[in-house]
Amino acid sequence: MKLLVCLSKTADTTARIAFDAAGVKFSEEGVQFILNPYDEWYALVRAIELRDALGGLVDVVHVGSSASEMLIRKALAIGADAAFRIDDPEPETRSVAEQIARFAEDRGYDIIFTGKETIDYNSSEMGSMLAALLNLPFVSLCSKLDFADGILRCSTDIEGGTQIVEVRPPAVISAAKGLAEQRIPNMKGIIDAKKKPLEVLPASSISALTEVVRYELPQEKQGVRMIAPDDIHELVNVLKNDLKLI
């Protein structure tokens, strides 16, 4: 099988989030980045498992700047065969989908994997966008995936049960928790990753469909205000004047 895994980078969950003075751009200063866990732990590892069981190869693709190359090398260390970076320093979601679709359309991939979402924006858009652009069947939130007799059998957890969807490849699959188990690169994988190809491709000129107007951090929550159980006047004052509830 020929498999493609789409990789995105996200800020580490321990990072302190800040924005520029205009509030329209995320500040990367001092922020540690990681591979998006849904891409790395589930999509990538399941692709490697399928390759090992059925033969073939696993490519990974990322749209972004050279600052992401160390993270891409991690995917190679885990077991991907080759990597591609589309050189776009400030990609927008629709632009990323278009770039990857143009990259993948003539390469004959049997399965294109994405994570179900990124842990920063949680938009869950990439898989469906890719499937629409490539005119391929799409299965979202896949938590179990088997291949037999030319059929992909995908399990999706739904409220009160499990949904089974069968499709013929090529197809786009978005990976959810449970699809595979996280792998830690070993020393051999890290050494081998340095020898594997990482090809940089120019970005296509694609106009963005969305514009960020402003980001704002949530307001700080106020502390608890204690009112004595017999102080009815204070309670009424708070409800009426402070909270405007009466």
Name residues whose C-beta falls within 8 Å of residue 150's C-beta, 6 or more positions apart in sequence: 168, 169
| Alpha-carbon gap, residue 60 to 37, rounded angstroms | 14
Contact predicate 73/85, CB 8 Å: no
Inform me whether the pLDDT recorded for 235 exceeds 90.
no
pLDDT digits over 128-164, tens only? Answer: 999 999 999 999 999 999 999 999 999 999 888 999 9
| Alpha-carbon gap, residue 81 to 60, rounded angstroms | 8
The pTM of the full predicted model, rounded to 2 decimals, is 0.83
pLDDT digits over 77-99, tens only? Answer: 999 999 999 998 877 788 899 99
Number of Cβ within 10 Å of residue 90's Cβ equals 9
The pLDDT, as a whole number, for residue 36 is: 92
Helix (H, G, I), strand (E, B) or coil at 11: strand
Please provide the average confidence, as pLDDT, over all residues in the chain. 89
| Alpha-carbon gap, residue 151 to 153, rounded angstroms | 6
pLDDT digits over 20-77, tens only? Answer: 777 777 777 778 889 999 999 999 999 999 999 999 999 999 999 888 899 999 999 9
The pLDDT, as a whole number, for residue 106 is: 92
Number of Cβ within 10 Å of residue 183's Cβ equals 16
The pLDDT, as a whole number, for residue 84 is: 96
pLDDT digits over 175-215, tens only? Answer: 999 999 999 999 999 999 999 999 999 988 777 777 778 87
Look up the CATH architecture of domain 2-242: 3-Layer(aba) Sandwich (3.40)
Q: Which residue has the higher pLDDT, 61 or 218?
A: 61
The pLDDT, as a whole number, for residue 246 is: 82
Return the domain boundaries, the chain.
2-242
